[in-house]
Copies of this chain bind each other. A is one copy, B any other.
Amino acid sequence: MKNDTFVVNSTARIEAFSDGVFAIAITLLILELKVPVISVFQDKRDLMIALKNLWPSYFAYVFSFLIIGIYWLNHHYIFQLFKRVNHMFGILNLVFLMTISFLPFPTAVFAKYLNDDVHRYSAVTFYTIGLLLPAIAWTTTWIYGSRDYRLIDHKLSPDFVRKLTSLYSWSTVVYVLALILSLVNEWLGLATCVLLTLKFLLPPVRPVYRKG
């Protein structure tokens, strides 16, 4: 295949570039937090109260930070399994990074309207879409690279590869479910996203290699 003529037997520069995008997207999340503006003649505790009322922003910051951080840890993890990259994989990884660096925007929408009874519904739905996009891109990238051992280490056990494919596919399904639930009840959709994230805070499965 023409496409495969350009396989590069190193993942170093693609990892460095991805690390850069991850590090910037995760740090830009803080820009969503705005300093409260307080009129002058007030009690000295008013600023502290205004800062406390920003709790939706703190929650959104912490949650999105963990989400991006976990994707980084997993990116680190699966790149140990890849042995080479090709142009198509570079494009898919780029699309995945596009969904990661998009996250500060739904996070800002979510933070602004989480405490707003009228608009919380749309904000949570939009945030769930924001979380679904990287899940889809991630699963697609993994399936492209692992199908028929296209780019991954040939010594990995087929069972282990299938297990990862299944894990990533199910996670995507859970985000779709969270999206549907958020259309019914926004707290239910959000809770589903939080639970899935807690699951991914657990250590990943150890890679299993073929015997002999």
Tell whether, in the assembled complex, residue A48 and residue B101 are in contact, meaning their CB atoms are under 8 Å apart: no
Q: How far is the CA of A97 from the CA of B45 in the complex (A)?
A: 29
Q: Which one of A11-19, A158-166, A172-180 is at the B interface?
A: A11-19
Tell me if A94 is interfacial: C-beta within 8 Å of chain B: yes
A156 to chain B: closest CB distance in Å?
Answer: 16
Quick one: which of B3, B14, B31, B206 contacts A28, CB cutoff 8 A? B31
Instruction: Evaluate contact between B94 and A44: CB separation under 8 angstroms.
Output: no
Chain B residues positioned under 8 Å from A48 (CB to CB): 122, 125-126
B102 to A44, Cβ gap below 8 A? no
We find that the number of chain A residues with CB closer than 8 angstroms to chain B is: 72
Binds B, one of A85-93, A134-142, A144-152, A188-196: A85-93
* B69–A35 touching, CB < 8 Å: no
Q: List 9 A-B contacts (CB under 8 A).
A: A19-B20, A20-B22, A20-B24, A40-B118, A45-B121, A46-B122, A47-B109, A69-B91, A87-B203
